[in-house]
Structure 1
Amino acid sequence: MTQQLNTLTPSQDLDFIFELMVGPTRMAVLKTAIDMKLPDILETAQEPKDIAEILEVEAGESNLIYFLDAMTALGFADKENGTYTNTPFSKSYLLTTSPTYLGGMVDNISQMQHRNLLRIPELILQGPPKVENRNKLDREEKWKESARHLANYQKADMAKRTASLISSLPEYSNIQRMLDLGCGPGIMCMEVVSNHPTMEGFLCDMPPLIEVAQDEIAAAGLESRIHTIAGDYNEIDFGQSYDLIWTSQTLYYVKDFSTMFSRIYKALNPGGLFLSLHEGLTCERTQPSDIVLSRLSLALEGQDVSFEQGEIASYLHEAGFYTIEIRIMDLPFGPSELIIARKSR
């Protein structure tokens, strides 16, 4: 996580500057390891000469060794007696055969986060550019392209976090119907349902993402307990009589918040729960720093979708929720605002 300068001692200030300067190198090593599929290669070849042969290196092994040493420095490889092997980290997240491979997700997200970084002075002076259609956040095909990579991330981390969170709620044993609104690949809802003896799950998202979710449902053998609703949640009927409605990183595409939260309220049974997990910017939209920085490129091109802390909760008050609880969850991409809203019985 990025440190704040006002929390550093004078002796740490220079450490912070040098830490910032090495950041692009870290990202370049990660991206190159993914692009060249070096973790895959290390599964079968550990000697530099053998790795060089697979890569068809033409100019000796010295630069390859420098790069493998950099991978080792970052924890992507282990080195012993001049040979290299994958670390558990690489086996889990950088090996293409791993069910939690995150290379595709890194490619997709880094493209969004980094594409404007070399143009910052231009964008400050000239304002947001016209966004190419392929880079628009609300393009259905864009999210279908990334949905399978997002599924791997949810399998690696968020699904288990979500299931643990929901199972800790006092109402958990009585939840029979859960709606994941804007579900993406649907892995989080699937994990929750599979850990509950009788719960049914309903996944709602655009048709291209529901196609991915249906593949995941079939692979998990949950066809009898997970159902899908395809369409724009602003326009379609996403059902009624839910005990729990879950939304995570998806409310950016709501067209009318008052209308949407009124619909969510009506779709819940008496005593039902609405859970929202999104960022909540503070300090006049300057914190949490990791969230602000990771979304700078999008913001500079006119695609700032971040919520301020308390913004979602204000709509829930208007919709009539009985109690609204706010927690801060530390997630891999930065602190996020978890809202637990309860409908009166």
Structure 2
Amino acid sequence: MNHAGDLLPHALQPYWDLALASVQAEALQLALEEGLFETLQQPHSAATLANARGWRPVSVEHWLTLLWSMRLIDRHRDAAGEWRYISTHVAQRYLASSSPLYCGEAWRFRLASLRDSGAGLSEGLHEQGRSATLASGERWAAAARSHLAREQISVTAPAACEVVAQRMSPEAAWRLLDLGGGPGLVAVALAKAFPQMSGVVFELPEAADVAAQHIAQAGLASRLEARGGDVVRDGVGTGYDLIWCSSVLHFVPDLSACLAKLHAALKPGGELICVHAEIPDEPEAARRMLSYYLPLLWQGRRVTQAGELCEALSAQDFEVCEERPITLPMAPATALVARRRVK
């Protein structure tokens, strides 16, 4: 007799899973709308929760069970044998609204954005050669105040600190350029972790104003400044020991020219940490990344094939010292550490 666990998955299972994922997304969306993970910082039964909110108890039980299966809720039986539910550590850390690392609204923004992108694929198929304009400075500033800020605090900044800590001594007096730094919270985190660091957050003027506010709020205005400009047309400064460049190169029209500008901005021996997604050679590895970047590609933006960015850096006389995976919101990326050679 065969058991369910003995059965091999059907060849169509991955595509059935795509349809099933839409239900899971709706379950999480509903939990965020209702502040469920905040409420479940203390254990509740489905009946208690339903009575407090005016919900249908049996529906609540099924919904909580699905969230439990998604590892967003833990459960245990009480003395009466009734399930009691509590948010998992991950949910409390990132999805409870009182957490300083709350990313619930950022997740909902990404969900809505990806739904819109997916719905527009058919239109993109029939509009070949049309490159969408970049978001306006005002829209980019709004993003810097909202989901980008949350994601930098909870995901990008800790990853940046980890990478930089392996490259730089905490006592070194080094100068940073955070290129395309959005809300500036990566630079803020680095300045807090490395007390001798100083530097510049370079962004579009409207977003640079947001970064300046965050720098001032952190009490770091004596060491960090936010500078507004266009990376293609304007100078970014020189004499930097370290440049953090994350997801900027997807948008520049001339990759070689931009990398040459960054090479000139570094001191000899200075390092560029270049964090961008590339399209892997293996389909399973490529699937998750392309699900996020396909709309960008259809807008005419650049997402390089695996290894192309390393070649482009080498062509500009960078010495590529290290290549490592790094966690960014939504899709994995690669951090390339490239040094300006000392002549």
With normalisation by structure 1, the TM-score equals 0.82
| Aligned-partner Cα distance in 1 for 2:68–2:285 | 32
Secondary structure of 2:196's match? coil
- Residue correspondence of structure 1 range 159-178 to structure 2 within 5 A: 159-169=157-167, 174=172, 176-178=174-176
List runs of 5+ in structure 1 lacking aligned partners.
Answer: 1-9
> How many matched pairs?
328
Secondary structure of 2:257's match? helix
One-letter amino acid of the counterpart of residue 92, structure 2: K
Partner of 1:65: 61
Distance 1:90 1:324, change over 3 A: same
**Shift in Å at residue 306 of structure 1?**
1.8
One-letter amino acid of the counterpart of residue 140, structure 2: W
Larger RCO (CA under 8 A, 6+ residues apart): 1
Asked if structure 2 preserves the Cα contact closer than 8 Å seen for 1:123 and 1:129, the reply is no
Partner of 1:85: 86
**Shift in Å at residue 41 of structure 1?**
3.5
Partner of 1:7: none
**Shift in Å at residue 129 of structure 1?**
11
One-letter amino acid of the counterpart of residue 8, structure 2: S
CA RMSD of aligned residues (A): 3.1
Distance 1:53 1:206, change over 3 A: farther
| Post-superposition CA distance 1:37-78 (Å, at most 9, x none) | 222333578344553455444xx3322332122222222223
| Aligned-partner Cα distance in 2 for 1:72–1:270 | 53
**Shift in Å at residue 287 of structure 1?**
4.7
Asked if structure 1 preserves the Cα contact closer than 8 Å seen for 2:251 and 2:301, the reply is no
| Aligned-partner Cα distance in 2 for 1:65–1:29 | 12
**Shift in Å at residue 103 of structure 1?**
1.3
- Residue correspondence of structure 1 range 1-345 to structure 2 within 5 A: 11-14=8-11, 16-43=14-41, 46-49=44-47, 51-52=49-50, 55-57=53-55, 60-80=56-76, 81-118=82-119, 120=121, 122-123=122-123, 126-127=126-127, 137-147=134-144, 148-169=146-167, 174=172, 176-283=174-281, 287-300=285-298, 302=299, 304-321=301-318, 323-331=319-327, 333-345=330-342
Partner of 1:3: none
Asked if structure 2 preserves the Cα contact closer than 8 Å seen for 1:78 and 1:84, the reply is yes
| Aligned-partner Cα distance in 1 for 2:253–2:259 | 11
Distance 1:276 1:130, change over 3 A: closer
Asked if structure 2 preserves the Cα contact closer than 8 Å seen for 1:113 and 1:298, the reply is no
**Shift in Å at residue 13 of structure 1?**
4.8
| Aligned-partner Cα distance in 1 for 2:142–2:215 | 18
| Aligned-partner Cα distance in 2 for 1:305–1:52 | 49
One-letter amino acid of the counterpart of residue 316, structure 2: A
Asked if structure 2 preserves the Cα contact closer than 8 Å seen for 1:279 and 1:336, the reply is yes
Secondary structure of 1:184's match? coil
List runs of 5+ in structure 2 lacking aligned partners.
Answer: 1-6, 77-81
Distance 1:233 1:130, change over 3 A: closer
Report which stretch shifted further, 93-102 or 12-21: 12-21
**Shift in Å at residue 178 of structure 1?**
0.6
**Shift in Å at residue 151 of structure 1?**
2.3
Report which stretch shifted further, 234-243 or 36-45: 36-45
Distance 1:165 1:116, change over 3 A: closer
One-letter amino acid of the counterpart of residue 61, structure 1: P
One-letter amino acid of the counterpart of residue 118, structure 2: L
Secondary structure of 1:115's match? helix
| Aligned-partner Cα distance in 2 for 1:317–1:268 | 15
Partner of 1:5: none
One-letter amino acid of the counterpart of residue 339, structure 1: L
With normalisation by structure 2, the TM-score equals 0.82
Secondary structure of 2:338's match? strand
One-letter amino acid of the counterpart of residue 306, structure 1: V
| Aligned-partner Cα distance in 1 for 2:59–2:73 | 16
**Shift in Å at residue 248 of structure 1?**
0.8
